[in-house]
Amino acid sequence: MKIKQVASAIGLTLALSAHTFASVLPDAQSQSEWYTSAQTKLSDKVAGSQTEIKTKAKNVILFVGDGMGISTLTAARILKGQLDGNSGEEGYLSFEMFPYSAQVKTYNVDAQTPDSAGTMTAMISGVKTDVGVIGVDEDIVRGDCSTVAGNELVTATELAEIRGLATGLVSTARITHATPAATYAKSADRNWEDVSDMSETAVTAGCEDIASQLVNFESNLEARFAGVDVDGIDVVMGGGRRHFLPKDEAYNSNDAVSSVEGDRTDGRDLTAEWQQQYPQGVYVTDQTGFDAIADDTTKVFALFNESHMQYEADRANDVAGEPSLSAMTTKAIDVLAKNEKGFFLTVESGRIDHAHHAGNAYNALSDTIELAKAVQAAYDSTDPEETLILVTADHSHVFTIAGYPKRGNPILGKVVAVGEDTPTLANDGMPYTTVGYANGLGFRDLGAETDADAAYNEAAVAGRINLDGVDTQTPGYHQEVTVPLSSETHAGEDISLHATGPGAHLAQGVIEQNVVFHIIDQALELTE
C-alpha cells in the first residue's frame, strides 16, 4: 500500500515536472527541431516500452561485420549520408535504427585484442575461448590435434539443426574462414581450412580439415548426438572454392584465377561429395548460376570465388561475376523461410576486416554500407514480429575519426575546420585526413584502384606525407599511420550489438561477447 502510494507520488511528480519545465522553456528551445525530434524519439520509446515484449522468435538472423568497430559504423554512416547528398552525420545505418543495442567486450580468454576465431566461437557457442581456435574451449592447445577431443563446443547452428529449423550460412570471405567456420567446425587451428594446410601429425591423428567438416556436417552431428537425425545446412554461400577441390587443373571452374584452383592434396572433390549427399541440392559458382536458382530449391551450396569474394566496390572485376551480400542474404531467406519451424541464418560481411588490415578506409566503409543494405533486405523480407535480427562485429580496428572537421566535411577528405574553406594545417605545415589508422602500411595513393589489396607493393610508410594535391577520397587511397606495420591490426575496445524483434530487448548494457549465444538460445529455445 505504502509502496504503491510512493510510486504514484513519484509518477505525479514526474508528470508535473515535465509539464512545468516545458512551459518554462523559451520557444527557441522547445520549438527547436533538435528539441522536438528528440522528444518524439523519447515518446516513441515510452510507447514502445508499454507494448507487450515478445521473447520467443521463429527465426533468428545473426549478422557479423568482421572488424566493424564503432568508428567504422560512424564513418560508414556519414559516408552513406554524403553519397546520398546529405551532410551525413545526422543519418543512420539501417540497423542503427533498431530499438535495442548493447556494448560488447570482445577479448579472448588468452588475448586482450582478439581475433575472429575466438570471438565468433564465443558468439555462436556461448563460451569464450582462445585466439585462433574454432569451436573448441580454452583447454585446447592451438595447433595440437590431440587436444581437440573432449573440448568441442556445440553451436547455435547445430542446435537449430537438431530442433528441425532450417539453417544457413552466408559470407563474403572464404566459407572456411574463421567466422563462418566457427558455426560448423571444431578445429585446433583456424588455418586448417583444407587438408594441405594441416601438418602430417594432425592428419594422421584424425583431425578433419574445416572444408571437409562443412561437407560432412550432417553425418558428424548425427555421430556426436546418438539418435539425432538432421538434414544438414540448407544454404551455404561464400568464397573458398580452392579448399573443396583437388589440386588438379581438371577441376578448375570458369571463374579460376590460379592456374590450378584446388588446393586439396587428398584428391577429394568435396563439391561432388556434397552433390552426392544432396542430389536435389544446387551447387553454383557464379552470378549466372546464382540467378538460375529455382524458387523451389531447398538446398544451396555456392562457392563464388577461389578465395575470398570481392570487395563490394571491386565486385565488377570478378572473372565470372558474383552476387552482392544483400542479394545473397535475400536469396538465403527465400530458401530457408520454406521451413515452417523457422530458421537460423548467419551472415558475415567478411572483408571489412581485410580492407582495414590493408589500411584502406574506402573499401572498409563501402563494405559496411553493403552490410547495412543486407540487413535492410533481411528486415524487409521477414516478419518483424517473429524474426530476431542481431547485428554485431567480432572485434574492432585501430581506425580513428579525428581532428575538428566542420559539419558535412567529406569523411574521407582532409580536415577543414568550422568556418574555413581550405584544409587545416598540422604543426608540420601539412594537411591531414579525418580518418586514419594507428598502425599499418600507411600512405599510398592508388587512385581508381578498387582492390584494397593492391597496396602490397611498397613497404610500410609511417607518419606524414604532404597531401597537397592528393585526392584522399578515391577508392585507392590508403590513410596515414603512426606505427609502421605490414598490416594494420585489430583493436581491443568494445564493439556494438544492435537488435530488433522478439528477444531483442535483452541486448542492453555492457555484455561479454558470449552473451550473444544466450540471446539467440533464449529466443529460439535451443537448449530447452
Partner 1 sequence: MKKLITIAVMLVSNHLYANTNSSCVQSSSQIKAQYQITESQQNHQQSRELTLWRNGEQVAHQSDNIVELWQHLKNNQIRPIRYFTEHKRGIEYQPSEVTGKQSWSAKYQLLDKKLIDKMKLVSEQGQGCDKSQLLEFADKNIKIKVNWLPELQLAQSIQISQGQYAREIKLLSKNTDKTLINQQFKQWDLYQTTDYADVGDNENDPFLAKMINQGFIEHGATGFYNQNGEMLQGHGHHH
Question: Looking at the annotation, which residues are catalytic?
Answer: 116
Q: How far apart are CA 152 and CA 213, in angstroms?
A: 13
Q: How many residues bind Zn ion (CB under 5 A)?
A: 1
Binding status of residue 367 toward Zn ion by CB under 5 A: no
- Which of 49, 219, 317, 508: binder of partner 1 (CB under 8 A)? 317
Binding status of residue 208 toward Zn ion by CB under 5 A: no
CB of 459 to partner 1, least distance (A): 4
Binding status of residue 487 toward partner 1 by CB under 8 A: yes
CB of 333 to Zn ion, least distance (A): 27
Neighbours of 206 (CB within 10 A): 10
Binding status of residue 132 toward partner 1 by CB under 8 A: yes
Cβ proximity to partner 1: between 394 and 521 the closer is 394
Cβ contacts of residue 70 below 8 Å, gap of 6+?
A: 396, 493, 494, 495, 496
Distance of CA 371 to the CA centre of its chain: 8
Starting at the earlier edge strand, list the strands of the sheet with 166-174: 282-284, 300-303, 235-239, 166-174, 343-349, 59-65, 387-393, 495-500, 100-105, 510-512
CB of 353 to partner 1, least distance (A): 7
19 grid coordinates: 509539464
Binding status of residue 353 toward Zn ion by CB under 5 A: yes
DSSP string, 282-303: EEE-SHHHHHT--TT---EEEE
CB of 281 to Zn ion, least distance (A): 32
Binding status of residue 319 toward partner 1 by CB under 8 A: yes
CB of 388 to partner 1, least distance (A): 29
Binding status of residue 189 toward Zn ion by CB under 5 A: no
Q: For the chain, count helices (H), then strands (E).
A: 16, 17
Binding status of residue 314 toward Zn ion by CB under 5 A: no
Stretch that binds Zn ion, among 5-13, 327-335, 349-357, 410-418 (CB under 5 A): 349-357
Binding status of residue 99 toward partner 1 by CB under 8 A: no
Stretch that binds Zn ion, among 73-81, 240-248, 351-359, 466-474 (CB under 5 A): 351-359
Q: How far apart are CA 261 and CA 249, in angstroms?
A: 7
Structure-derived torsion over alpha carbons of residues 482, 484, 485, 491, reported in degrees to the nearest 10: -10
Residues from 136 through 165 that contact partner 1 (CB under 8 A):
142
Find, among 117, 72, 64, 133, the residue nearest to 397 by Cα.
72
Cβ proximity to partner 1: between 340 and 468 the closer is 468
Stretch that binds partner 1, among 34-42, 268-276, 303-311, 425-433 (CB under 8 A): 303-311
Contact, 181 vs 187, CB < 8 A?
yes
- What's the burial of 292, exposed, middle or buried (CB within 10 Å: 0-12/13-18/19+)? exposed
Binding status of residue 488 toward partner 1 by CB under 8 A: yes
- Which residue reads 525530434 in cell numbers? 37
CB of 131 to partner 1, least distance (A): 8
H or E stretch at 65: strand 59-65
65 grid coordinates: 561485420
Binding status of residue 55 toward partner 1 by CB under 8 A: no
CB of 308 to partner 1, least distance (A): 6
Residues from 412 through 471 that contact partner 1 (CB under 8 A):
444-449, 451, 453-460, 465-466
- Which residue reads 514502445 in cell numbers? 48
Task: Select from partner 1, Zn ion, none the partner in contact with residue 158, using the beta carbon and a kind-dependent cut-off of 5 to 8 Å.
Answer: none
Binding status of residue 130 toward Zn ion by CB under 5 A: no
Amino acid identity, position 126: G
Binding status of residue 308 toward partner 1 by CB under 8 A: yes
Site string for partner 1, 173-212 (x = CB under 8 A): -----x-----------xx---------------------
Tell me the angle at which helices 515-524 and 116-125 cross, rounded to the nearest 10 degrees: 30
Contact, 151 vs 161, CB < 8 A?
no
- 28: helix, coil or strand? helix
Cβ proximity to Zn ion: between 68 and 520 the closer is 68
173 grid coordinates: 570471405
CB of 312 to Zn ion, least distance (A): 18
Cβ proximity to partner 1: between 97 and 426 the closer is 426
> CA dist 488 to 64, 162, 460, Å?
20, 40, 10
508 grid coordinates: 542492453
Q: Tell me which residues touch Zn ion (CB under 5 A).
A: 353
Interface ranges with partner 1 (CB under 8 A) = 115-116, 131-132, 142, 178, 190-191, 257-260, 307-308, 310, 314, 317, 319, 351, 353-354, 357-358, 444-449, 451, 453-460, 465-466, 484-489
